[in-house]
A and B are shown apart, each in its own frame.
Chain A
């Protein structure tokens, strides 16, 4: 592999990172090539010694995404970091990634349930306000209005509570995932 090819592959594997980070990594390797050639090595030999640029890029990317996930702590950044680490082959695909997707799926389902309950409450309240404008409207009795009102408020409040619970659950899961991923990457640095 020649130098140009090395940088092309490295660049491709770093896609998606901030430009400053990419520039720093590229500059380090640029300097490495220069010093290596000065010592009498050919560019091809130097590339050989450095190893697979795609692998180097993945490692650099994973470490950066890990840091970002740690400072941000958002579900999205954690997800990105886990995906990058999975690309490194750091996790046993079946033992870790399987359950990971399972739990992510369950979380999405629970979020949908919370939203569903909340929205059904809002819809129930909506019936109270908008039904008088519907032509086929049959006036509700006083008891009916009270019943509908409380059902609506109850459902909306319950949905809200579920939502708050989900925020905590999601945050907790993100934290746990990150801690695990960090421990793994902490041990496995490199090739």
Chain B
């Protein structure tokens, strides 16, 4: 039961972070689906296909706009462009992330010091 709960928390954590990653990947340049999936799954171990439902939902929520652009060879690609709202959300999420990471680090540091003392 506990292990199962831990697993769910772990998944939830990963997925929440995934949203931030998608927003961050698109903050500097517009990209098409394949590039977004590639950039993220190069670094995070998730099944890439789950990023598409996320892209769709974030588009509907107004974080992205999509447009089609011709590729040199083959049919046009769907590009995702971060909107003003998307940028604001990304900034807020990054701030939250930084605070969280710092808090965790403080706890880890403290634990380390205590362990050193006991030894």
Contact = CB atoms under 8 A, between A and B. Distances in A.
Nearest to A53: B49
A56 B57 contact: no
Nearest to B57: A63
Contacts of B78: 28, 31
Contacts of A142: none
B56 interface: yes
A190 B14 contact: yes
B113 interface: no
B117 to A, nearest CB: 38
B105 interface: no
Contacts of B50: 51, 55-56, 59, 189-191
B48 A31 contact: no
A59 B50 CA distance: 7
Interface in B35-82: 35, 37, 41, 46-57, 60, 73-75, 77-78
A134 interface: no
B6 to A, nearest CB: 13
Given A53-B49, A56-B53, A189-B53, A32 B18 contact: no
Contacts of B11: 188, 190-191
Contacts of A32: 33-34, 37, 52
A25 interface: yes
B12 interface: yes
A67 B60 contact: yes
A29 interface: yes
Contacts of A31: 32-34, 75, 77-78
Interface of A: 24-25, 28-29, 31-32, 34-36, 38-39, 49-53, 55-56, 59-60, 63, 67, 187-191
